[in-house]
Amino acid sequence: MALVPCQVLRAAILLSYCSILCNYKAIDMPAHQTYGGSWKFLTFIDLVIQAVFFGICVLTDLSSLLTRGNDSQEQERQLKKLISLRDWMMAVLAFPVGVFVVTMFWSIYIYDRELVYPKLLDNFIPAWLNHGMHTTVLPFVLIEMRTTHHQYPSRSCGLAAVCTFAVGYILWVCWIHHVTGVWVYPLLEHLSPGVKIIFFAAVTIIINVFYLVGEVLNNYIWDTQK
């Protein structure tokens, strides 16, 4: 795909995430006023990750255009650093976290929506915004993977980074429960302490699997094995 259409596409996706974030933050929900605010929800954290990632993508495109035909080694080095940051975010955060949010949300939603997205939220969050937070993330990140080749880090470093993020968020959820006495997700209220440990371990494994899926898919699309 040509560079200019890709630039327009990434800019449009970035604007859509900015719109989703602004509309979400404008909603006057009781949960936003409690400890942790919006930052206790993985969906919101993922939206921020996606917005930052596509912002870096757009910045990389602009820098690439500005440095084209320029022989400045310093600018070339800075562009390479930006590309490395973009690729790292795609591999470790944007793809695995984005795919995890979409698949886990809709899997639990189909089983029993009250465990993850109570019907009460329909009074605050319109359907289009719900899909913007929990559906379009997947096609957006797949479009980015298809249009741009991303250099993945070594598997050990990538998995270590993903584990760090997963464990960090789990500890954050546990801390919120310690402070408020309420679990961020209603699903956790129904699990015994032992089952919670198994659930958290399974969640960490799943997000690592999604990292590996992203790596394999990236290699398949761009045929990097050859």
pLDDT tens figures, 45-90 = 999 999 999 999 999 998 888 777 676 777 788 888 999 999 999 9
Q: Token pair 């912002």 is at which residue?
A: 55
Residue 6 has pLDDT above 70, yes or no: yes
pLDDT digit string, tens, across residues 128-163:
999 999 999 999 999 999 999 999 999 999 999 999
* Domain positions in the chain: 4-222
Residue 1 banded pLDDT, cuts 50, 70, 90? very low
Least confident of 87-96, 160-169, 185-194, 209-218: 185-194
Least confident of 46-50, 123-127, 165-169: 123-127
CA torsion angle 55 45 201 131 (round to 10) = -90
Between 187 and 29, residue with greater pLDDT: 187
pTM reported for the whole predicted model: 0.92
The set of residues, in sequence order, having a beta carbon less than 8 Å from that of 50 and lying 6+ positions away, is 17, 94, 98, 137, 140, 141
Terminal Cα distance for the chain, rounded: 21
Residue 24 banded pLDDT, cuts 50, 70, 90? very high
